[in-house]
């Protein structure tokens, strides 16, 4: 079955840049989407179609794609950005999958 691979954890200091990667064989042909989830809350969509930002999402959140890897970048990280982040995409047949999630810690 298709898998999206994320690092389990990423740590950054406030004001620095956090980069969270997501790798999958079908990513060159399928868009990726990113969610932020804080403890006890439902996920929030922060990036769609690799690099688009929904309304209401701060400009410090951005996304990019290169080959089989997509990256969520958070510039000028703030304490409130500490959360779990999940990528989502699909394989060539359209089967939807989430990455395993990355815990972002703001030191």
Partner 1 sequence: QVQLVQSGAEVKKPGASVKVSCKASGYTFTSYDINWVRQATGQGLEWMGWMNPNSGNTGYAQKFQGRVTMTRNTSISTAYMELSSLRSEDTAVYYCARGAGYMVRGVSDYWGQGTLVTVSS
Q: How distant, in Å, are the alpha carbons of 76, 86, 102 from that of 14?
A: 7, 21, 17
Quick one: 69 or 75, whose CB is closer to partner 1? Answer: 69
Outline where DSSP puts E strands in 13-94: 18-23, 33-37, 44-47, 61-66, 69-74, 83-90
Cβ atoms of 84 and 103 within 8 Å: the answer is yes
Selected binder of partner 1 within 12, 25, 31, 60 (CB under 8 A): 31
58 makes contact with partner 1 (CB under 8 A): no
Quick one: 71 or 88, whose CB is closer to partner 1? Answer: 88
Quick one: 7 or 75, whose CB is closer to partner 1? Answer: 7
Stretch touching partner 1 by CB under 8 A, among 17-25, 39-47, 58-66, 67-75: 39-47
- Phi and psi at residue 81, to the nearest 5°: -85, -5
48 makes contact with partner 1 (CB under 8 A): yes
């Amino acid at each position: 079955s298709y898998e999206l691979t994320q690092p389990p954890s990423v740590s950054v200091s406030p004001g620095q840049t956090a980069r969270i990667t997501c790798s999958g064989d079908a990513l060159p042909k399928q868009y990726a989407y990113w969610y932020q989830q804080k403890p006890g809350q439902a996920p929030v969509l922060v990036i769609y179609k690799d690099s688009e930002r929904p309304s209401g999402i701060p400009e410090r959140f951005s996304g990019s794609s290169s080959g089989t890897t997509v990256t969520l970048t958070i510039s000028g990280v703030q304490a409130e950005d500490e959360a779990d982040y999940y990528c989502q995409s699909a394989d060539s047949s359209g089967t939807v999958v989430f990455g395993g999630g990355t815990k972002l810690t703001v030191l």
